[in-house]
């Protein structure tokens, strides 16, 4: 893997959700690290407290800022994405399909602290996941509900990759990874959480699924900090061809 490197960070936050920096500050940070692409992927509206407010107007404003940066042509290329939340057992996400279609990148996350689509989704999926997050309680039924919801989301929406699967939420990683292979969706190695995510990478690898390695930066100084994920991939023997934001020296992907 010596002559391979990561050319993009496709998961970064700004002040439009719970990040501290601006779009421009993330771009400058990516530039300083020599990245060719940076995606701005703030939390969609269902994230409690931190989700994008007034999503339609805000996303329009974000698009204008992204376009203005890209018009300068100085790199990195900015992509406008969003980190959506799974809000129902049927795989619904917290932005309408027509908005998702306009994004350059759609991430799906199963976060516990999210406004559910219906009270039933809250009572049978999101609330139990929140309880599980903070206790030792485990339930096979909940695991099945989570897995089915994630798989549905991957089938129903144009998902670029699933963020940090296995983080705090109990799912059948192998089943999700198989669905991702069929839909050409990748799984993320999230550099904020490499210690607890190693097991899920080990389980997903034999399915042949692709991965992406991202910082999940919440401040500009974290943009492009991808070393932990890269080290984990090396340790587990993940072939670099299967890391979508990796490229061999001299070859653009
Ligand atoms: Zn966040
Ligand atoms: Zn994130």
- Contacts of 224 by beta carbon, 8 Å cutoff, 6+ apart: 9, 29, 30, 32, 33, 34, 35, 38, 215, 217
Q: pLDDT tens, 178-230? A: 999 999 999 999 998 877 788 899 999 999 999 999 999 999 999 999 999 99
Please, what is the Cα angle at 57 between 216 and 11, to 5 degrees? 10
CATH for 4-248 (3.30.160.60, 3.40.30.10, 3.40.50.10470, 3.20.20.140): 3.20.20.140
- 55-109 residue pLDDT tens: 999 999 999 999 999 999 999 999 999 999 999 999 999 999 999 999 999 999 9
Q: How far is the CA of 228 from the centre of ligand 2 (A)?
A: 16
Query: Stretch 115-123: mean pLDDT, rounded?
Result: 94
Question: How remote is the CA of residue 202 from the centroid of ligand 2, in Å?
Answer: 22
Instruction: Inform me whether the pLDDT recorded for 2 exceeds 80.
Output: no
Residue 103: partners with Cβ closer than 8 Å, 6 or more residues away: 80, 81, 82
* Residue 112 pLDDT grade (very low, low, confident, very high; cuts 50, 70, 90): confident
User: In the chain, where are the structural domains located?
Assistant: 4-248
CB neighbours (10 Å) of residue 71? 8
Q: Are 171 and 165 in contact (CB under 8 A)?
A: yes
Model pLDDT for residues 29-66, shown as the tens digit of each residue: 999 999 999 999 999 999 999 999 999 999 999 999 99
The string of DSSP letters for 28-46 reads: HHHHHTT-SEEEEEEEPTT
Ligand closest to Cα of 215 equals 2
Q: Pick from 86, 101, 75, 102: which is nearest to 43 by CA?
A: 86
> Distance from the CA of 1 to the center of ligand 1, in angstroms?
30
User: What is the CA(248)–ligand 1 centre distance, in A?
Assistant: 31
**Distance from the CA of 83 to the center of ligand 2, in angstroms?**
6
Over residues 144-163, the mean pLDDT reads 96
pLDDT of residue 166: 66
Q: Which tokens go with 27? A: 């771009």
CA of 13 to the centre of ligand 2 (A): 6
Q: Which tens digits make up the pLDDT trace of 156-192? A: 999 999 998 767 788 999 999 999 999 999 999 999 8
* Dist. CA 19 → ligand 1 center (Å): 7
CA dihedral 131, 133, 137, 141 (to 10 degrees): 80
Give the pLDDT band of residue 28 (cuts 50, 70, 90): very high
From the CA of 120, how far away is ligand 1's center (Å)?
25
Mean residue pLDDT of the chain comes to 94
* 3-state class (DSSP) for residue 106: strand
What pLDDT is recorded for position 154?
98
User: Helix, strand or coil for residue 86?
Assistant: strand
Sheet holding 105-109, edge to edge: 8-12, 37-43, 77-85, 105-109, 161-162, 186-190, 211-214
Above pLDDT 70, what percent of the chain? 100
- Cα(18) to centroid of ligand 1, in Å? 5
pTM over 0.85: yes
């Amino acid at each position: 893997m010596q002559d391979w490197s990561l050319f993009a960070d496709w998961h970064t936050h700004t002040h439009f959700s719970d990040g501290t920096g601006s779009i421009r500050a993330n771009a400058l940070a990516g530039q300083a690290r020599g990245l060719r692409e940076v995606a701005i992927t703030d939390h969609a509206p269902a994230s409690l407290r931190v989700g994008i407010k007034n999503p339609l107007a805000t996303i329009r404003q974000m698009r204008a800022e992204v376009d203005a940066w890209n018009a300068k042509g100085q790199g990195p290329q900015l992509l406008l994405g969003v980190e959506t939340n799974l809000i129902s057992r049927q795989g619904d996400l917290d932005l309408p399909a027509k908005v998702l279609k306009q994004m350059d990148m759609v991430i799906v996350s199963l976060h516990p602290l999210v406004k559910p689509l219906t009270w039933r989704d809250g009572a049978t999926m999101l609330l139990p996941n929140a309880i599980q997050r903070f206790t030792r309680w485990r339930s096979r039924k909940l695991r099945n509900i989570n897995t089915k919801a994630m798989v549905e989301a991957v089938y129903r929406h144009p998902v670029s990759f699933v963020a940090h699967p296995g983080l705090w939420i109990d799912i059948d990683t192998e089943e999700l990874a198989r669905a991702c292979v069929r839909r050409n969706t990748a799984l993320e190695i999230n550099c904020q959480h490499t210690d607890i995510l190693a097991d899920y990478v080990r389980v997903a690898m034999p399915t042949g699924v692709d991965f992406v390695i991202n910082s999940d930066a919440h401040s500009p100084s974290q943009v492009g900090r991808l070393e932990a994920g890269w080290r984990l991939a090396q340790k587990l023997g993940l072939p670099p061809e299967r890391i979508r934001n990796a490229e061999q020296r001299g070859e653009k992907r």
